[in-house]
Amino acid sequence: MNNLAILTGAAFGTLAIILGAFGAHALKKILTEDKLASFETGIKYQMYSALSLLVIGFNANFNLKAVQWSFYLIGAGTMLFSFSIYLLSLSQLLKTNMRFLGPVTPLGGLMMVAGWICLIVSAVN
């Protein structure tokens, strides 16, 4: 499990760097300021999650259920949160209505918060 957390964190981090460069160079001229800011928010939170998953992978005891849940919730929450923001930000460019993703973003955020709470629980036990 530790290696899976490290692998997921490294993949999230790599993708955050790639998408950040893409946003700064290719999307800067195409997206509105608001859409670009939203896109960058997705990148920031993805990178925060990448770093947290790396710390969890290198340091946490995956024998604890709370640590396992933390990994699952932060990983899945990041995918829902950041990727829904990316798609919502790019919806006009892709000429696709992505409004149905609106509720997905806060659900992903709640999952990330729950993952952090699981970390707190694992530290207290």
Predicted TM-score of the model (pTM): 0.91
What number of CA atoms fall less than 13 Å from residue 20's CA on the CB side?
12
91 near 98, Cβ under 8 Å? yes
* Residue 33, amino acid: E
Question: Residue 92's pLDDT band (boundaries 50, 70, 90)?
Answer: confident
Q: Domain map of the chain by residue range?
A: 2-124
Query: Distance between CA atoms of 94 and 71, rounded to whole angstroms?
Result: 32
43 near 23, Cβ under 8 Å? yes
Average pLDDT over residues 83-106: 90
Average pLDDT over residues 4-22: 96
Helix axes 33-59, 2-22, angle to 10 degrees: 160
Q: Is the pLDDT of residue 125 over 80?
A: no
Please give the mean pLDDT across all residues of the chain: 93
